[in-house]
Each structure stands twice: as structure tokens, then as C-alpha cells.
Amino acid sequence: MRTVKHSPKHSLHHPSLKPATRLNFRLERWHRRVLYLLLGLLLISGLLWLWAHYFLTGVNDFGTIMSPLEHWSMQLHGAIVFPFSFIVGSLLLQHMRRAHKAGANRVSGWSMVALLSILALTGYGLYYLASEESRPWWSLIHWLLGCSLPILICLHILLGRRTVAFAKQATNHD
């Protein structure tokens, strides 16, 4: 039986790299910038929607009047989700798969996958499934989890940097 030898370029443990370097799963600068820009735009558009929905409504003879900002912020939010989903999907091969195989940041990483999945499901539910009675609950879950996403991302980054720092420290003491 013939064994297939993988090229070092595609190996998780490249032989020429120091152990601390192998644990570095940091995204490239352009990838981080695009991800953070889109995440920031999602957060801003979501917060604008919350502000417009709860604080900028009016009442007239026919009932409650929706602010135009509510509609525009929701459209912007929905439009930004598409490139954000693409960028998150691009993390699967180089960042998530390699980090998972190395056992790095599994809890915070899988927590982010779960949170993003629930956000996608509640966003879909708000658009396609929610009735007038259930819409406030779908919305509450969606915006509470959406507001917690930046916190979880910051925690994930800090834990990753701490892991790399510990690995570098251990390498320097050897």
C-alpha cells in the first residue's frame, strides 16, 4: 500500500516553522480589515434599526408611523449580511479547520459558529417565518445575540493571542 506524502505547504505542522509560529492562526491583514469593517457595518445598521424602531416611531390618526430610518437600516443590514457570510465562509479552510485540528480556541470558535448560525436562522425567521405575534420574540433573540457578537469576537481574539504568547514563552524557555 502506497502512502501519500503531503507537501509541507499544506501540512498543519510545517517542519520548518517553530512551534509557536505553527500555532499562529491570525488572519491576514486584508481579511481582518474586511471582516471587521463588515462586522462594524452590521452592528451600526442593527443599532440604527433598534434606535429607529423603539425611539423614532410616531403616532397619527391611523396608528403607529414607522421611521424611514428603520426601513433603510434594515435594508442595509440585509445587504451587508451577504458579503459578511462570504467572508465568514472563507475562514473555514485556512483559519477554522487548521485551528480546530490544532485544538486552538475550540470553545470560543465553536461558540462563534453557533452564534452566527443562530443569527442566520433568526434573520431568516424574521424575514420568512415570523408571524405578527412571534415577530417581537424573533427580533429580541436576533438583536440580543447580534449585540453580543462583537464581545465574543474580541474574546476569541484575546484568547488566541494569549495562546500564541504562551506558546512563544514555552519555546523561549526550551
C-alpha cell at 108: 470560543
- Gap between the Cα atoms of 107 and 103, Å rounded: 10
Q: What is the pTM of this model?
A: 0.78
Output the tens digit of pLDDT for each of the chain's 174 residues: 556 555 555 555 545 544 444 556 788 899 999 999 999 999 999 999 999 999 988 788 887 888 999 999 999 999 999 999 999 999 888 788 888 888 778 888 899 999 999 999 999 999 999 999 999 999 999 999 999 999 999 999 898 888 766 666 666 766
Paired with 64 in beta bridges are 59
Closest CA to 167 of 17, 40, 50: 17
Closest CA to 97 of 86, 107, 109, 85: 109
| Entry field: residues in the chain | 174
- Inter-CA distances, 79 with 107, 157, 160, Å: 30, 26, 30
